[in-house]
């Protein structure tokens, strides 16, 4: 009987202690999982984009991006890709995002019909493939998709063409204030903060031009100091455009 009672007490103690043996590990795992989710939620993503290139200044632009370990997305014109082939190849080889901006950059030609824009993007894609051996489905239409890219035009470009339409939510206006670098800087930072405060990921519009080289280092330095992580646009990223067209 004493032996039976001793065995019973031992078994009872084991039963009481058994859950406690796993509690610290379980709590730790839960904390770790919560920490990872919080970290992912708090990640400050930003997309930096450049239109109208490549140009004679693309090499310097890429040097600056490389200096700050930043990747951007380039919406390029067909003739420019063929003219500046080395820069086009470098953009591809260094892992930047690839987008198309058409051929003419003339509204009266690009938006002449529902199919004129599609043909320009297809032609630009052929130029990209010819020069660098790759293609892309990301497009940004000249001067943005509103108001020129009518619904019927979008249906052709995105439906029949299978492209993904991108505009922006942060306009640097670097094309307008080419000599006022502080104005460009202020435009970027104020709009980035405004967009981020609304819980939206910033998509910054800049241009592949000489004037932008003067302000870009300051913009990158500040954004990195604020904890932003630069990523490139891809076909699996939900498009940001003025029409809110998610295709």
Best CA proximity match to 184, nearest among 195, 193, 173: 173
Q: What's the burial of 233, exposed, middle or buried (CB within 10 Å: 0-12/13-18/19+)?
A: buried
Active site residue 245: no
For 85, residues 6+ apart whose C-beta sits below 8 A from its C-beta are 131
Best CA proximity match to 170, nearest among 130, 122, 219: 219
User: How far is 218 from 190, CA to CA, in rounded Å?
Assistant: 14
Best CA proximity match to 171, nearest among 240, 79, 88, 97: 240
Active site residue 164: no
Of the residues 51, 52, 167, 208, only one is catalytic, namely 51
Of the residues 57, 207, 208, 245, only one is catalytic, namely 207
Q: What is the DSSP code string of 46-110?
A: EEEEEEEE--TTHHHHHHHHHHTT---EEEE-HHHHHHSHHHHHHHHHTT-EEEE--SS--HHHH
Best CA proximity match to 44, nearest among 195, 238, 246: 195
Residues taking part in catalysis? 51, 207
């Amino acid at each position: 009987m004493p032996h039976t009672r001793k065995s019973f007490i031992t078994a009872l103690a084991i039963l009481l202690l058994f859950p406690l043996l796993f509690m610290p590990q379980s709590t730790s795992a839960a904390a770790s999982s919560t920490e990872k989710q919080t970290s992912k939620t708090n990640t400050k993503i930003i997309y930096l984009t450049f239109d109208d290139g490549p140009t004679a200044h693309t090499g310097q632009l890429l040097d600056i991006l490389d200096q700050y370990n930043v990747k951007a997305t380039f919406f390029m014109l067909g003739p420019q890709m063929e003219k500046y082939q080395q820069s086009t190849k470098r953009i591809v080889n260094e892992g930047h995002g690839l987008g198309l901006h058409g051929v003419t950059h003339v509204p009266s030609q690009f938006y002449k019909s529902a199919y004129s824009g599609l043909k320009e993007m297809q032609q630009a894609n052929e130029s990209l493939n010819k020069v660098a051996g790759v293609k892309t489905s990301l497009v940004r239409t000249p001067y943005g998709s509103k108001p020129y890219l009518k619904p019927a035009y979008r249906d052709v470009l995105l439906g029949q063409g299978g492209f993904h339409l991108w505009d922006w939510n942060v306009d640097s206006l670097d094309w307008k204030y080419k000599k006022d670098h502080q104005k460009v800087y202020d435009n970027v930072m104020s709009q980035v903060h405004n967009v981020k405060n609304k819980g939206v990921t910033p998509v910054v519009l800049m241009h592949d031009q000489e004037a932008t080289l003067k302000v870009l280092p300051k913009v990158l330095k500040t954004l990195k100091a604020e904890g932003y992580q630069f990523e490139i646009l891809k076909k699996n990223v939900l498009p940001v455009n003025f029409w809110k067209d998610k295709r």
